[in-house]
Amino acid sequence: MSLFAAVEMAPRDPILGLNEQFNADTNPAKVNLGVGVYYDDKGKLPLLRCVAEAEALMQAAAKPRGYLPIDGIAAYDKAVQGLVFGADSAVLAEGRVATVQALGGTGGLKIGADFLKRLNPNAQVLISDPSWENHRALFTNAGFAVATYPYYDAAQRGINFEAMLAALQAAAAGTIVVLHACCHNPTGYDLSPAQWSQVVDTVKARGLVAFLDMAYQGFGEGIAEDGAVIQQCLAAGLDFFVSTSFSKSFSLYGERVGALSVVCGSSAEAGKVLSQLKIVIRTNYSNPPTHGAQVVAHVLSTPALRAMWEEELAGMRVRIREMRQALVAELKAAGVSQDLSFVTRQKGMFSYSGLSAAQMQRLRSEFGVYGVDSGRICVAALNSRNLKSVAAAMAAVIK
């Protein structure tokens, strides 16, 4: 008998499955709103100018590719810390943050999950209901029991904040709470600063472990605004985790550029934590790749390139906001009478459209408009060319 005879076929990744279906669709008017990727108004994946310029500079001074240190490029880790915590942050001056380069935001989450498993193997993990689909799988595979805290409230078209807070208040000390720092995926609904403050107070009072997932910094309100919860956690004196992704904000998806930062009580603790994070990395993939992190470090630490990045990021943020407004206007023009203004209150790349699974299936089969059955659509894949046809299709299934 073959060694692999008993291996079962794993279920397909639902979003990647949707992509395959999209690619096989022969409808010339098809539109893919399923993916979590930002496209420009021409429907193209952008290559940011700041990235191209940094690459040109790097090319002109091309270096051999030795191994990186286990925790990555020091200048990159420092630049990440400056961005996430603020360059003048006391916590950095005090050396209380351990930061490692990671393989995208996913890699940052995974390193943190593996470290937490060694630290507190019996902790429960709470993720939002709903959440990015990989949160559950990732923490489950790291060996944790994963449950949810209430988040989306379909009837209110928003967040069921009272229920969320009650769940956190009822959580056992040491529970790991995964929080979307901004631009909640998949719903698009973010907590207000006042609500964040209550969450942070609860995390502190109950002795919970906050794990902030920051995959979309700069896509909501702005770089500082989207990172405001970090400042609240610092002000509360929490020890906490932050995973960072530059996949979206630098349009560097395939380069796998991210990081994990762990805020500790002292620099001595940060040193010990860093040593443990390095063991997790060493025993998984030894050390990270060079290119993407070099680009990001270059851009973030060169004032002219950084200014260019901030401008390009603002351009992506504004375009998404414009698409939200235009979608609502087009739906209204197409005769949809219900109030869909909630779409403009959502932040980031995604919108929970409120459409049912049956309506999403109709969008696919009748109109070639691909979104997720949960009703999630990627607003960042709308553009001035496909907007009208998408709105017409949505109107047809809503009415």
Interacting residues toward ligand PLP by CB under 6 A: 36, 104-106, 132, 180, 185, 213, 215, 245, 247, 258
Q: Determine the longest span between alpha carbons in the chain, in angstroms.
A: 64
What span, in angstroms and rounded, lies between the C-alpha atoms of 278 and 252? 24
Burial classification of residue 392, based on how many CB atoms lie within 10 Å of its CB (0-12 exposed, 13-18 middle, 19 or more buried)? middle
Q: How far is the CB of 75 from ligand PLP (least distance, A)?
A: 20
What string of DSSP letters covers 336-396?
Answer: --S--THHHH--SSEEE----HHHHHHHHHHH-EE--TTSEEEGGG--TTTHHHHHHHHHH
Task: Rank residues 22 and 350 by Cβ distance to ligand PLP and give the closer one.
Answer: 350
Task: Rank residues 129 and 269 by Cβ distance to ligand PLP and give the closer one.
Answer: 129
Q: How far is the CB of 330 from ligand PLP (least distance, A)?
A: 26
Task: Rank residues 53 and 213 by Cβ distance to ligand PLP and give the closer one.
Answer: 213
Backbone torsions φ then ψ of 287, nearest 5 degrees: -165, 160
From the list 110, 117, 248, 347, the catalytic residue is 248
Task: Rank residues 110 and 117 by Cβ distance to ligand PLP and give the closer one.
Answer: 110
Give the CA distances from residue 294 to residues 8, 77, 105, 274, 313, in Å, rounded to whole numbers and listed in that order. Answer: 40, 10, 16, 21, 19
Residue 125 bridge partners (DSSP): 146, 176
Task: Rank residues 37 and 336 by Cβ distance to ligand PLP and give the closer one.
Answer: 37
- The set of residues, in sequence order, having a beta carbon less than 8 Å from that of 4 and lying 6+ positions away, is none
Pairing of strands 350-352, 376-378: antiparallel
What span, in angstroms and rounded, lies between the C-alpha atoms of 188 and 126? 19
Q: How far is the CB of 378 from ligand PLP (least distance, A)?
A: 10
Q: Is 309 a catalytic residue?
A: no
H helix and E strand count, the chain: 16, 13
Q: How far is the CB of 160 from ligand PLP (least distance, A)?
A: 19
Question: And the tokens for 119?
Answer: 């630290």
From the list 71, 190, 213, 226, the catalytic residue is 213
Task: Rank residues 22 and 367 by Cβ distance to ligand PLP and give the closer one.
Answer: 22
From the list 114, 117, 132, 196, the catalytic residue is 132
Q: Does residue 288 have a cis bond before it (omega within 30 degrees)?
A: no
Task: Rank residues 215 and 380 by Cβ distance to ligand PLP and give the closer one.
Answer: 215
What span, in angstroms and rounded, lies between the C-alpha atoms of 55 and 35? 27
- The set of residues, in sequence order, having a beta carbon less than 8 Å from that of 261 and lying 6+ positions away, is 80, 81, 84, 85, 97, 98, 99, 241, 242, 243, 244
What string of DSSP letters covers 280-339?
Answer: HHHTTTSS--SHHHHHHHHHHHSHHHHHHHHHHHHHHHHHHHHHHHHHHHHHHHTT--S-
Q: How far is the CB of 192 from ligand PLP (least distance, A)?
A: 19
What span, in angstroms and rounded, lies between the C-alpha atoms of 259 and 246? 9
Cβ-proximal residue to ligand PLP, closest one: 104
Q: How far is the CB of 62 from ligand PLP (least distance, A)?
A: 26
| DSSP H or E segment with residue 232 | helix 228-235
Pairing of strands 369-370, 31-32: parallel
Q: How far is the CB of 5 from ligand PLP (least distance, A)?
A: 34
Task: Rank residues 84 and 328 by Cβ distance to ligand PLP and give the closer one.
Answer: 84
Q: Which residues are catalytic?
A: 132, 213, 248
